[in-house]
Amino acid sequence: LKPAILIVEDESAIADTIAYALKTEGFNPLHLTLGAQAIDCVRSQPFALVILDIGLPDLSGFEVCRQMKTFQDIPVLFLTARNDEVDKIVGLELGGDDYMTKPFSPRELVARVRAILRRSERHRTQPRSRFEHDVAARRIRFCGHLLELTRYEYLLLRTLLAQPDRIYTRAQLMEQVWSDAEESTDRTVDAHIKTVRAKLRAIDPENDPISTHRGVGYSLSLATGQEVT
């Protein structure tokens, strides 16, 4: 599977160069020109990394990064054309992130992308997943046990598993799971979470991987879950 990279850059010549270099090196780039689009996009589909220009037409790259990081810990490679921006970036105390000053060589950029991905891979305390998802067969195993799931239970668990630790609101789950249903309510989501939980608890009564975020929604942890209030 090729790692998906989101490029947020309003200068199409630069974006095209980056996209081409990434594609050649085995990545799967997607290009957007607006910060707001980028935030929505990261919310709805998984990316390994975001390449983020600071001077965007709508929001600054700093603001885009801040908003993205409120819901996902995604690595960011900033692109900047100005020295005063560099000062500001350095002041952010970038954890797994990095920046490049324009103009840059596409090869150098790809090398940085690889380095960031390696670093974030290492830093991610990746617990061995207790789930095995056979996408083709639409089957999920938990701690080695095959789960007997109804259609909507499967779709619900599949959605939560696609982005571990992401907090989904009930509305987001309804949209992803019950998109073809005649009608669904918050209670539909809660009821299905309950039955999925019961099936997981039957296998491991101690560690519920699904967390309830009161007033917000649900998330799933590959390690162990807990009640978050």
Q: Interface with Ca ion by CB under 5 A: which residues? A: 10, 53, 55
How many residues are present in the chain? 229
Closest distance of CB 67 from Ca ion, Å: 18
Considering the complex, state which of residue 53 and residue 97 has its C-beta at the smaller distance from Ca ion: 53
Closest distance of CB 225 from Ca ion, Å: 41
Considering the complex, state which of residue 47 and residue 78 has its C-beta at the smaller distance from Ca ion: 78
Tell me the residue nearest to Ca ion as measured from the CB: 55
Considering the complex, state which of residue 3 and residue 55 has its C-beta at the smaller distance from Ca ion: 55
Are the C-beta atoms of residues 50 and 24 closer than 8 Å to each other? no
Closest distance of CB 90 from Ca ion, Å: 19
Closest distance of CB 180 from Ca ion, Å: 40
Closest distance of CB 52 from Ca ion, Å: 10
Closest distance of CB 38 from Ca ion, Å: 13
Considering the complex, state which of residue 2 and residue 82 has its C-beta at the smaller distance from Ca ion: 82
Rg (CA), the chain: 20
Q: What's phi and psi for 56, nearest 5 deg? A: -100, 160
Considering the complex, state which of residue 61 and residue 209 has its C-beta at the smaller distance from Ca ion: 61
Considering the complex, state which of residue 55 and residue 96 has its C-beta at the smaller distance from Ca ion: 55
Are the C-beta atoms of residues 45 and 38 closer than 8 Å to each other? no
